[in-house]
A and B are shown apart, each in its own frame.
Chain A
Amino acid sequence: MTKLMEWLAAAALLGAAWLTLSFDLLGLSLPEPWRRLVWPLPVYLLLIFGCYALATVGFRVATLRDCEDAARELQEQIREARKDLSRRGLTF
């Protein structure tokens, strides 16, 4: 099963559950407060996911390490390498 199919299957399942509950297709006659919760649930879930996504990406951007030391070390090694290679007869 491709990832696309997995997503479609999950969406179909959730969508069916939501339709059943919010339009009471099975005649469960859920209490009124429950129905008031279920009806806008997809929007809530989207908002929660949006917040989660923004918070996660924000956190990861903020904590992505800047490797100043690695850049310095590389610059030093570049100088060292050029000196050594010139000594061995390499023309750059």
Chain B
Amino acid sequence: MASRRGAGLGQAGDSLEKYSVLLPTYNERENLPIIVWLLIKYLGESEYNYEIIIIDDGSPDGTLEVAKQLQNIYGKDTILLRPREKKLGLGTAYVHGMQHATGNFIVIMDADLSHHPKFIPEFIRKQKEGNFDIVSGTRYKGNGGVYGWDLKRKIISRGANFLTQILLRPGASDLTGSFRLYKKDVLQKLVEKCVSKGYVFQMEMIVRARQLNYSIGEVPISFVDRVYGESKLGGSEIISFAKGLLTLFATT
């Protein structure tokens, strides 16, 4: 349960604060309307200023077409479309999205429904509580957890996380999760510094944050593995993760 302790902090400034949610998509035609609906439900209820920026990387399944329909329903101020021609990677998607973001806070999350928007108000409360530079969702603390993982998947994740904690001591319990809230300037600086791709990119963001002495708050989240579409964790992901881990070990 979220603590209400810090709720009084910064309330006077609430009207000045705005949260830009970045949603990079690739073939999320099924999931996008649901995630947008949920975002509007929870952010609308919480009365924060917000906008949703959809960055579609030329999905062949017509994700962009659905996004346009959503824009017609919810308005151009709430839903911004910043499509790109082809798949260009997560880091550049954030840069691209941020260029058009008018919020002073950025929320990044997956559009595949594994990250539930109901946690965003908790992220915001947490951020206010300690004036954190970053608030990271964690599956591995408190009421956090996962759904849809078999034993093998759990062992790989927990093993990889343990190894990473030992080698990098990053000061956050969930490194490969990508459900986070950043101060905008902090995210800008971090993205400039990060070079990795895929799972390792999220990990590098937290490791570099540590290096730059940014403060990190954590909120337990439940992670419901992809409802539509396929979840990916194969041999090649493990190898690229290991390579990335060693690179960070040697360079940070």
- Report chain A residues within 8 Å CB of B66: 90, 92
The answer, yes or no, to whether B84 is at the interface (CB within 8 Å) is: no
Indicate with 1 or 0, residue by residue over A47-62, a CB within 8 angstroms of chain B CB atoms.
Answer: 0000001001100110
User: Is A57's CB under 8 angstroms from B146's CB?
Assistant: no
User: Is A67's CB under 8 angstroms from B167's CB?
Assistant: no
B: number of interface residues (CB 8 Å): 41
In the assembled complex, the Cα of A81 lies from the Cα of B145 at a distance in Å of 24
The answer, yes or no, to whether B249 is at the interface (CB within 8 Å) is: yes
B73 in complex: contacting residue of A2, A53, A75, A85, CB < 8 Å: A85
Known contacts A3-B168, A4-B249, A78-B227; decide if A67 and B222 are in contact (CB<8 Å). yes
A81 in complex: contacting residue of B34, B162, B248, B250, CB < 8 Å: B34
The 8 closest A-B pairs by CB, nearest first: A65-B145, A70-B222, A67-B222, A81-B37, A71-B147, A67-B145, A67-B147, A4-B250
Task: Give the B-binding residues of A (Cβ under 8 A).
Answer: 2-4, 7, 53, 56-57, 60-61, 64-68, 70-71, 74-75, 77-78, 81-82, 84-85, 88-92
Query: Can you spell out 11 A-B residue pairs with CB atoms less than 8 angstroms apart?
Result: A3-B252, A4-B249, A53-B166, A60-B162, A64-B140, A65-B145, A66-B146, A82-B34, A85-B33, A85-B73, A89-B73
